[in-house]
């Protein structure tokens, strides 16, 4: 080997070692940077006709387990979805009160029943009549509060959906930009590893909004496909998703003749295809979970007012004096939003003696309550007929002896009549109220549990990802020491070659 070739080989080794040390230093410096993965820089031996010609550095690469990465992103999306559900349903749970303290619906129905029992013992007692009115106002107020909380949560879900639409548009544009940059670097023979880290981070943020899959192309680009087969457009600067602002009323719904806007993707409504992540959770809350909960609450309020009304006591109405008929289909009926409008009948509030005497006559029906005539002004002060009817039937499972109360609706719920409730087989107001509270407050607890499971899985997968692709600072420092040793050896080779050149020149002179 000539001295020129030896010098060239040694110099190429120094150049590779210099870049490898720079790579290691960069990894150590970015060990705590979110999304940064460990990089590798290897060299290729150069030969000509079997003779070594030195070494040439390859392009910096990274080693990522895409299966673990995809699972981590999906777990992150599940955690984000559960977190949104937990946050929005937390307000509903708080509005329901505390069952252990008796201030939730089931407990307040029982308290109203107890107040009627006490009034029956002394029908002429004005203090006991006022106690019934107070309990009725408390119960109506609780129904109003829960209805308001459901409305606020549903509006919050729509607003969250709008926020996610804007974030997804920005994320897709970012991925498109990085796609272009990565392809350009690869085509030029340069490393795209850092850009790929940045793109993976952007995709991970998108996965918090939507459940998606990543298809990696041969040119270094990626294609994103959301669950349901929606290919997400990747065009830098574009806004493919859109959602109009809206005030979500109790009777509003999406689809068909509904008034709620849908999530549009390049002009096509994809709301019902959204799944996973915060977008899927927000759409499901807005269009299914919360409308069903509102319908269950409206059914409870309507049955409460109707069962008292049917016995001759119009204790609860809306502001217009209406008492809904729970035997009619929910969709399109006066039941929609009744829980938010229910109040104590002004006539009863102004004249509590109506609690004893009754507000109206009942004609009687073989398939319903028996006949009832109100107590006239000259009637007995100890009139108990209405109070007996209320306690025996309004709070019981029958309208009259042998005639069942109208069932609590479980199907045809929601403003569009497409939703169903799991609250089946219940007969009395207290039972339905207690079951409703347990089911609706349990939804928040279920969301919290789901968030915990998803977060634990995400942390586990993040740990595995770090073990496989993260930066081990100790290992990198040890590698730098080895590189420095090798660098010193190469430097001595160059010094030796230089000394040989000097000796050769001296001999020639």
> Cα–Cα distance between 464 and 462 in angstroms, integer?
5
Indicate whether 328 pLDDT > 90.
yes
Q: What is the pLDDT of residue 256?
A: 86
- What is the average pLDDT across 326-349? 97
pTM of the entire predicted model: 0.87
Instruction: Quote the distance between the C-alpha of residue 347 and its chain's center.
Output: 44
pLDDT in tens, 420-474: 999 999 999 999 999 999 999 999 999 999 999 999 999 998 888 777 776 555 5
pLDDT in tens, 362-398: 999 999 999 999 999 999 999 999 999 999 999 999 9
In 3-state terms, what secondary structure has residue 200?
A: helix
Q: What is the pLDDT of residue 229?
A: 83
Q: What is the pLDDT of residue 247?
A: 94
Residue 20 tokens read as 């490898």
Indicate whether 475 pLDDT > 70.
no
pLDDT in tens, 78-109: 999 999 999 999 999 999 999 888 999 999 99
In 3-state terms, what secondary structure has residue 179?
A: helix
Contact present, 57 and 34 (Cβ < 8 Å): no
Read off the pLDDT band of 506 (50, 70, 90): confident
> Cα–Cα distance between 239 and 234 in angstroms, integer?
10
> Cα–Cα distance between 119 and 345 in angstroms, integer?
18
Q: How many CB atoms lie within 10 A of CB 3?
A: 12
Helix ranges (H only) for 100-210 are 105-121, 126-187, 193-207
Q: 315: which DSSP letter?
A: -
Indicate whether 357 pLDDT > 80.
yes
E runs forming strands in 173-308: 212-216, 222-226, 230-232, 241-242, 264-265, 268-269
> Cα–Cα distance between 336 and 365 in angstroms, integer?
27
Q: What is the pLDDT of residue 192?
A: 86
Q: 374: which DSSP letter?
A: P
- What is the average pLDDT across 111-130? 97
Indicate whether 27 pLDDT > 90.
no
Q: What is the pLDDT of residue 465?
A: 77
pLDDT in tens, 248-300: 999 999 988 889 999 999 999 999 999 999 999 999 999 999 999 999 999 99
- Phi and psi angles of residue 243, each rounded to the nearest 5 degrees, phi first: -155, 125
> Cα–Cα distance between 382 and 287 in angstroms, integer?
51
List the one residue out of 337, 292, 299, 293 whose CA is nearest residue 318: 337
> Cα–Cα distance between 486 and 13 in angstroms, integer?
9
- What is the average pLDDT across 115-141? 97
Q: How many CB atoms lie within 10 A of CB 254?
A: 23
> Cα–Cα distance between 133 and 337 in angstroms, integer?
22
Give the range among 17-31, 168-182, 394-408 with minimum mean pLDDT: 17-31
Instruction: Quote the distance between the C-alpha of residue 20 and its chain's center.
Output: 45
């Amino acid at each position: 080997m000539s001295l020129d070739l030896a010098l060239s080989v040694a110099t190429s080794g120094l150049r590779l070692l210099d870049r490898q040390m720079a790579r290691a230093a960069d990894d150590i410096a970015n060990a705590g940077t979110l999304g940064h993965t460990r990089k590798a820089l290897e060299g290729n031996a150069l030969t000509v006709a079997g003779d070594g010609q030195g070494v040439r550095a390859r392009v910096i690469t990274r080693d990522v387990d895409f299966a673990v990465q995809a699972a981590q992103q999906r777990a992150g999306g599940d955690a984000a979805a559960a977190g949104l559900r937990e946050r929005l349903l937390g307000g509903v749970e708080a509005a329901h009160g505390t069952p252990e303290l008796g201030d939730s619906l089931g407990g307040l129905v029982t308290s109203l029943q107890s107040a009627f029992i006490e009034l029956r013992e002394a029908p002429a007692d004005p203090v006991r009549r006022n106690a019934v009115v107070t309990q009725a106002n408390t119960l109506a107020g609780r129904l109003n509060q829960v209805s308001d909380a459901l409305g606020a949560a549903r509006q919050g879900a729509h607003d969250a959906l709008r926020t996610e639409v804007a974030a997804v548009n920005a994320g897709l544009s970012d991925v498109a930009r990085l796609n272009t940059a990565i392809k350009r670097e690869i085509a030029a023979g340069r490393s795209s590893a850092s850009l790929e880290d940045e793109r993976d981070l952007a995709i991970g943020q998108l996965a918090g909004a939507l459940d998606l899959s990543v298809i990696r192309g041969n040119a270094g680009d990626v294609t994103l496909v959301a669950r349901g087969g929606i290919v997400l457009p990747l065009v830098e600067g574009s806004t493919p998703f859109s959602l109009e602002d809206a005030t979500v009323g109790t009777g509003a719904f999406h689809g068909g003749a509904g008034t709620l806007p849908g999530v549009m993707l390049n002009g096509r409504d994809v709301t019902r295809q959204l799944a996973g992540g915060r977008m899927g959770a927000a759409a499901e809350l807005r269009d299914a979970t919360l409308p069903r909960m509102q319908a269950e609450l409206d059914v409870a309020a309507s049955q409460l007012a109707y069962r008292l009304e049917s016995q001759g006591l119009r204790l609860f109405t809306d502001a217009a004096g209406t008492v809904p008929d729970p035997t009619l289909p929910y969709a399109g009926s006066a039941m929609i939003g009744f829980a938010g409008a229910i109040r104590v009948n002004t006539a009863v509030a102004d004249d509590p003696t109506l609690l004893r005497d009754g507000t109206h006559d009942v004609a009687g029906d073989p398939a319903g309550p028996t006949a009832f005539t109100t107590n006239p002004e000259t009637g007995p002060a100890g009139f108990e007929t209405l109070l007996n009817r209320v306690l025996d039937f309004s709070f019981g499972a029958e309208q009259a002896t042998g005639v069942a109360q109208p069932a609590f609706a479980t199907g045809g719920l929601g403003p569009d009549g497409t939703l169903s409730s799991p609250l089946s087989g219940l007969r009395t107001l207290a039972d339905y109220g207690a079951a409703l509270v347990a089911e609706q407050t349990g939804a928040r607890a279920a969301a919290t549990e789901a968030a915990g499971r998803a977060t634990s899985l995400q942390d586990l997968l993040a740990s595995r990802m770090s073990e496989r692709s993260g930066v081990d600072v100790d290992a990198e420092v040890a590698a730098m020491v080895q590189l420095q040793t090798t660098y010193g050896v190469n430097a001595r080779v160059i010094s030796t070659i230089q000394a040989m050149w000097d000796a050769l020149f001296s001999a020639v002179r």
